[in-house]
Amino acid sequence: MPDGVVLRGLRVEGPQGVLVQGVDLDVLPGRIHVLVGASGSGKTLSARSLLGMVDARPGVTQATLEVTWGDQTWRPYEGLDLNSRRARAVAERRFRPLRGSILGYLPQDARRSLDPLWTVGRQLRAALALREQPHDDGPAAWLARAGFPQPERVEPLYPHELSGGMAQRASIALALARGSRFLLADEPTTGLDPTVQEAILQELLALRDQEGVGLLFITHDLRIVPRLADRLYVMHAGSLVEDLPGDQLDQLTSQPARALWQATARIAGGVLG
Amino acid sequence: MNLSGAVGLAVMSAVVVAWGVSLVSGYDVVADVNPEHMNLGPASAHWLGTDHLGRDVAWRLVTASEVFVGPGLFACLLALLLGVPAGAWAGWVGGLGAELVRYVFTVIASLPRFVLVLLVCAIYGSSVWTLAAAAAVAYSPAIAEAVYSRIATFRGREFVLAAEAHGVHWARILGWHLLWVNGKTLIARHALQLFAYFLLVETTLSYIGALEAGAGFGVPEPTPSWGNMIAFEWGVRHGNQWATWAPALAIWVVILGALLLADGLAEGDHA
Amino acid sequence: MSAPPPDRRRQLALLSALGRRFGAFVLTLLGAALLAQVLLWSAPGDAADLLAGDPELRAALVVEMGLDRPPHVAWWAFVTHALGGDLGRSLTYRPGMAVLELVQPAALRSLVLVVGALVVSLLVGTALAYVTAGRRSLGRRLLQAVSIAPVFLMAWVLVVGLNEWAFELMLQDRIVRPSWFALPDQESLLKWALAIGVLAVGSSAVTEVHSACEDELKAIRRSGYVDAARARGARLWPHVLWNLVPPLTTIASSRAAFFVGGLVVVEKVLHLNGVGAMLWQACRLRDVPLALGITFVAAAVVCGARLLADVLRVTVDPRLRTQT
């Protein structure tokens, strides 16, 4: 089986009803797949279901997930009646070998995702210690790979001393140091100013091209899609409404996606035109 | 007000009623001694039975309210007098003045409350009124700090600044708007907590004072206090169990009631 | 990109934060000593009255014991002597003995109680918070209701209850008379265990730790860093435990005053000879220097606990070092 993450037929339910229905996603090595949707469309839930970290109750009630790397394949949701608590505990155990080593997560608020009591260097060392195959490089090397020009100065810093952009890059360094093969980047550039956004996007492109990492990039901003996306998913109100190659944006068929695209074009054109 | 607050109100009302009844009726501590009726269980003549000197337990239970209700109210008043103006002023002016006031109260608070109360009683004697004053002084830092916090929080709010800009006198803003309208539930809650604390202190000292006769702590026998009623039956075999468990229960219920009422008032307090 | 503060500036910020807290500690302690002196100076009767009936002898005693000095003079003398380790001499409790000598062995016994109560309340409170995990539990309400009872009442209930229970069992020939039965002065492990338990519950330490722990655990479990650690496949407990330390130290140090106050009653009621019991005697005998010495030690413990907690918090949490 080829390396990759394949999700079919995801259904997520919350206390108020169905949140996500019938979603199919792929994450492939060396590819950036962009998942776009308005707030509340279910994109974060879908991504977190790949990690088994959906916190809603009852949560994931239906899903077929296949994760392959090298000669190993994992199917964490297989054969489980996901409505029962025992099944959830079993799924949790099955996901543990996947988290970090195969699937990594880049959270939206990077600064809050770092333990406030630990320095950046210490968190990197902790991530390095979790690797299945130890690496020789120290924290500074990984910070350099994440785009820091002076990694020795960043190592002794605490999270509250980092700016938003620095924290996001530290987060990337952590994911790299951990050695995740696939990264789920949850709106990593939202809220950062444009120059920093650009820098982060460059890092992520480098990740794909140089390290061969497969990325699922979640955003509500369509503007980055043309540069980044090998494939585009559009979600609306819990369902997948578009699934097409990234260079075929003119072939959007669904009404929500077209509306989003037109609004985006107007904003982008209005600002720069 | 929620259910627990209502329960608290009921308990405190019962205490006030008992106090009133006791004040009106009076109690002759000597005449009540009745060796023929020792250690009786509950009956129609004595609702909770008698203690080992033949005294009616129920009536002593009611009369004991005199020992803590009056002085308790006095303690509340005194503590409010000490804590509220100082805390309010500190919250209002801020800066060095506030730091100075808070320092004074921090110093008072650095002595554990019971240690302070004990010290004052040892120096000035152990009448309940002295006890009340000591408890008030020991509790005033908590009140001052709470009022300070509340006033300081409100100091910068728009409605205060607007009132100042409109020329409303600062005393009216502080006294009426901040302390009364926005602060009265906070103050009432602390007063209730102090009342509970005073009952605790009075009964503790009376209990220990009764165990060690002549030590001069708390309310001396034969004046009834729930504390000395418990201690008085110590070592009595085959006595009336109600003679000790009734006052014990009463202490716990009244403290609980005061605190429940304080919590009930907190429900309506929007800060 | 913001420039990181140089190491020197960081160290200075840490030192100044600690220095300020130590200064506050010293100032508060000085104030407490003054307060105690003022109280004692305004006493209507004093130790001299207890010892001597003759007015001339009394006057001589007053001068010798230094009871005629104005409070600020006495306070300054007390402070300067205290710095040298001299807390005065007992007047009536053990006349002539140095207060420090008297207090030390008693303080050790009381320390066992306080530390025991602290450990118990931290362990039980944390464990309860972990178990109840925010669910509205009846057991917690019950514990809160029990905690508000006066310490003497708790001790009384336990002692009476235990004695009754032992008596019943003895009547039924089920057990032999236990060594502690109806003998309040008898030393026993049971008495110490009771004292520690009553102190931990009665000072509301268990319920406060439980409450705070529950809130903190909830916040920590929901936090971004625990979520990210979980996504990384890392162990969660180091993150949870160390982030629990700052709020727990705050709670524990705030309970210090209640521990000491409760200690005074517990020792008296359960007949344990610590500083609490000694304070009762000193007050009863109007032993001014002893009472003052013990009060000062009590204030030092309360302030010291606060200082210790601050130091620990600043050490563990780097965010506190740069705050003013």
- Per-residue pLDDT of C217-268, as tens digits, reads 989 988 999 999 999 999 999 999 999 999 999 998 889 999 999 999 999 9
For residue A107, what is the nearest residue in chain C, using CA coordinates? C228
Cα atoms in the 13 Å half-sphere on the side-chain side of B190: 27
Query: What separation in angstroms does the CA of A240 have from each of A37, A237, C72?
Result: 9, 9, 81
CB A50 within 8 A of CB A27: yes
Query: What separation in angstroms does the CA of A215 have from each of A37, A96, A106, A188, C205?
Result: 17, 20, 10, 12, 50
Write the DSSP assignment of A21-56 as a string of letters: EEEEEEE-TT-EEEEEE-TTSSHHHHHHHTTT---S
Sorted by where each starts, the structural domains of chain A and their CATH numbers stand as 4-102+180-272 (3.40.50.300), 111-179 (no CATH)
Average pLDDT score over residue span B17-32: 81
Q: Is the pLDDT of residue C216 over 50?
A: yes
pLDDT digits (tens, 9 = 90+) for C75-102: 787 788 777 777 777 777 887 788 888 8
State the pLDDT at residue A273.
Answer: 41
Spatial CB neighbours of B67, under 8 Å, sequence gap ≥ 6: B128, B202, B206, B219, B223, B224, B225
- Residues 2 through 61 of chain C touching chain A, CB cutoff 8 Å: 2, 4-5, 7
Name the residue with higher pLDDT: B38 or A255: A255
Q: What ipTM is given for this predicted complex?
A: 0.89
CB-CB under 8 Å, A126 with C234 = yes
Helix (H) or strand (E) holding A5: strand A4-14
Query: What separation in angstroms does the CA of C12 have from each of A157, A241, B144, C9, C105?
Result: 16, 58, 34, 5, 40
Q: Is the pLDDT of residue B236 over 80?
A: no
- For CA atoms C167, C173, C175, C178, the dihedral sign is positive
Query: What separation in angstroms does the CA of B230 have from each of A89, B234, B240, C201?
Result: 55, 7, 11, 21
Nearest to A178 by CA among C234, C139, C26, B121: C234
Q: Answer yes or no: is C22 within a domain.
A: yes
A85: left (phi over 0), alpha (psi -120 to 50) or beta: alpha
Look at strands A4-14 and A59-69 and give their pairing: antiparallel
Q: What is the reported pTM?
A: 0.83
Q: Answer yes or no: is C1 within a domain.
A: no
Q: How far is B42 from chain C (nearest CA, A)?
A: 21
Q: Does C242 touch chain A (CB under 8 A)?
A: yes
3-state SS record for chain C:
CCCCCCHHHHHHHHHHHHHHHHHHHHHHHHHHHHHHHHHHHCCCCCHHHHHCCCHHHHHHHHHHHCCCCCHHHHHHHHHHHHHCCCCCECCCCCCCCEHHHHHHHHHHHHHHHHHHHHHHHHHHHHHHHHHHCCCCCHHHHHHHHHHCCCHHHHHHHHHHHHHHHHHHHHHCCCCCCCCCCCCCCCCCHHHHHHHHHHHHHHCCHHHHHHHHHHHHHHHHHHCHHHHHHHHCCCCCHHHHHHHHHHHHHHHHHHCHHHHHHHHHHHHHHCCCCCHHHHHHHHHHCCCHHHHHHHHHHHHHHHHHHHHHHHHHHHHHCHHHCCCC
C-alpha C143 chain-centroid distance? 21
DSSP state of B179: I
- pLDDT band at B36; cut points 50, 70, 90: low
CB-CB under 8 Å, C264 with B118 = yes
Q: Is the pLDDT of residue B49 over 60?
A: yes
Instruction: Return the number of other C-beta atoms located less than 10 Å from residue B47's C-beta.
Output: 14
State the pLDDT at residue A270.
Answer: 65
Q: Does C223 touch chain A (CB under 8 A)?
A: yes
Domain membership of residue C223 as a residue range? 7-323
Write the DSSP assignment of A166-225 as a string of letters: HHHHHHHHHHHHHT-SEEEEESTTTTS-HHHHHHHHHHHHHIIIII--EEEEEES-GGGH
Tens-level pLDDT at each residue, chain A (273 residues): 889 999 999 999 988 889 999 999 999 999 999 999 888 888 999 999 999 998 888 888 888 999 999 889 999 988 887 777 788 888 889 999 999 899 999 998 898 999 999 999 999 999 999 988 888 888 998 898 888 889 999 999 999 999 888 998 899 899 889 988 999 999 888 878 888 888 888 888 888 888 888 999 998 888 888 888 899 999 988 899 888 888 887 777 888 888 887 888 787 776 554
d(CA A52, CA A47): 9
Q: Is the pLDDT of residue C324 over 50?
A: no
User: What's the total number of domains in chain C?
Assistant: 1
CB-CB under 8 Å, C233 with A96 = yes
d(CA A13, CA A260): 26
For residue B97, list its beta bridge partners: none
Chain B residues whose C-beta is within 8 A of a chain C C-beta are 103-104, 106-115, 118-125, 196, 200, 203-204, 207-208, 215-217, 227, 230, 244, 248, 251-252, 255-256, 259
pLDDT digits (tens, 9 = 90+) for C29-73: 888 888 887 887 776 666 566 555 567 767 766 666 666 777 777
For residue C71, the domain's CATH number is: 1.10.3720
Q: Is the pLDDT of residue C23 over 70?
A: yes
The SS3 assignment for B50 reads strand
Residue extents of the structural domains in chain B: 70-191
Nearest to C125 by CA among C261, C248, C260: C248
Q: Is the pLDDT of residue B226 over 80?
A: yes
Q: Does C244 touch chain B (CB under 8 A)?
A: no
Q: Answer yes or no: is C145 within a domain.
A: yes
d(CA C73, CA C84): 17
Q: How far is B242 from chain C (nearest CA, A)?
A: 13
Q: Is the pLDDT of residue B46 over 90?
A: no
Q: Any idea which residue has 């009364």 for tokens? A: B180
Q: Answer yes or no: is C2 within a domain.
A: no
Q: Answer yes or no: is C128 within a domain.
A: yes
Read off φ and ψ for residue B157, nearest 5 degrees. Answer: -70, 155
Nearest to C245 by CA among C323, C313, C321: C313
Give C-chain residues touching B121 at CB under 8 angstroms: 283
CB-CB under 8 Å, C231 with A163 = no
CB C70 within 8 A of CB C62: no
Chains A and C touch (3+ CB pairs under 8 A): yes
d(CA B169, CA B148): 20
C-alpha C227 chain-centroid distance? 37
Give B-chain residues touching C279 at CB under 8 angstroms: 115, 118
- pLDDT band at C1; cut points 50, 70, 90: very low
State the pLDDT at residue B268.
Answer: 65
**Two tokens at B198?**
């005073």
Q: Does C108 touch chain B (CB under 8 A)?
A: no
- pLDDT band at C283; cut points 50, 70, 90: confident
State the pLDDT at residue C64.
Answer: 62
CB-CB under 8 Å, C316 with A99 = no
The 10 Å CB-count burial string (b at 16+, else e) for B133-155 is bbbbbbbbbbbbbbbbebbbebb
Give B-chain residues touching C149 at CB under 8 angstroms: 251-252, 255
State the pLDDT at residue C183.
Answer: 67
Name the residue with higher pLDDT: A38 or C4: A38
Give A-chain residues touching C14 at CB under 8 angstroms: none
DSSP state of B220: P
| Neighbouring chains to A with at least 3 Cβ pairs closer than 8 Å | C
Q: Name the maximum alpha-carbon separation found in chain B.
A: 77
For residue A273, list its beta bridge partners: none
